[in-house]
Amino acid sequence: MKTPKIIFKNRLSFEEQVYNFFATISGLTVFVLKFFKEVFVPPYEIPQVKKHMDELGVKTFPIVSVTGFIIGLVLAMQTEPVLRTFGATDYLPGSVAVSVIRELGPVITALIFAGRVSSGIGAELGSMRVTEQIDAMEVSGVHPFKFLVVTRVIATTMVLPILTLYVDFIAMVGAYIAVAISSEMSLAYFSHSVVSALAFGDFLPAIAKTFVFGFIVGIVGSYKGFTAEGGTEGVGKASTTSIVIASLLILIFDMVLVKITLWLWPII
């Protein structure tokens, strides 16, 4: 299976832009199919997967910690006056928890992950492509797709759900701090309200979709990097277009997956 050639030029005509759009979609599709063809075939390169999980995942913890904390804090601060108007501040922990766990946690973590990781993979593989390191790997009898792409995509797919769970938790810590500042709600009451507001239908589908988002981040970054051309300029383009495409696909797939989730677990 061959990926269609993207046209690399400074100024593209309208027809070339349309061509590149469809070439990217078909190239990504081919790339995804190739991933599923290769992922079950040995060697499995487990040490590489672990290495990427560490590099791509663990190093994202600081930025998602800050983001998660601020999301929870700001959401609670914004919601509290509205609920107070209706005398419903008791519902604050539950409403924040549902918002964060169902939607904000997975999507914002995925977008930040895309910004940090997809562009990083695009730049790294792009640079390897233009400096012939990928060719060098191929001539030494090692399959670069397996070694470079499959391992990274597995790592991003496995890491994002863990990051999302962590962000959900940190966001609730942020929310509690906002609540504790503005009212006298105890931690026990806050925790109880959160747990009783959440159901299976809130939790599992939200985490399940992060596997899809993680896969998107890995596969888009790898595709753009692996097919980079045109020297350092090509590497820059691979990096920036990785973020744009990954972010768009995350939002589009979120829309589709939310619809499926609501169909499977309707909100009463």
Partner 1 sequence: MADNIIIKIQNLSKRFGELIVLDNISIDVTCGENLIVFGQSGTGKSVLLKCIIGLLNPDSGKVLIKGKDVCTLSQKELDAVRKNIGFLFQGAALYDSMSVRENLEFPLERHFSLTQKELDERVMKTLEMVSLEDAVDKMPSELSGGMRKRIGLARSIITEPEIMLYDEPTTGLDPITSKEISELILNLQKKLDMTSIVVTHDLVCANIIADRAIFLKEGKIIHRGKLQEMETSEDPFLKDFFSKEIINEQ
Question: What is the binding site for partner 1 (CB under 8 A)?
Answer: 124, 127-128, 131-133, 135-143
Q: Which residue's CB is nearer to partner 1, number 38 or number 103?
A: 38
- Of 152, 150, 175, 162, the residue nearest 41 (C-alpha): 150
Residues 73 and 178 sit within 8 Å (Cβ to Cβ): yes
* Minimal distance, residue 139 CB to partner 1, in Å: 5
CB of 31 to partner 1, least distance (A): 17
**CB of residue 170 vs partner 1: minimum separation in angstroms?**
30
Residue 37 or 259 with smaller CB distance to partner 1? 37
Pick between residue 47 and residue 87 the one whose CB is nearest to partner 1.
Answer: 47
Nearest one of 99, 263, 79 to 182, comparing CA atoms = 79
DSSP, collapsed to helix, strand or coil, labels residue 246 as: helix
Cβ 118 vs Cβ 217: under 8 Å: yes
What values do phi and psi take at 240, rounded to 5? -70, -40
Tell me whether residue 130 or residue 179 sits nearer to partner 1 (CB atom). 130
The least CB distance from residue 140 to partner 1, in Å, is 4
Residue 177: CB atoms within 10 Å: 15
Where does 183-230 have alpha helices with state H?
Answer: 187-197, 200-226
SS3 190: helix
Identify which of residues 45 and 168 has a Cβ nearer to partner 1 in the complex: 45
CB of 141 to partner 1, least distance (A): 4
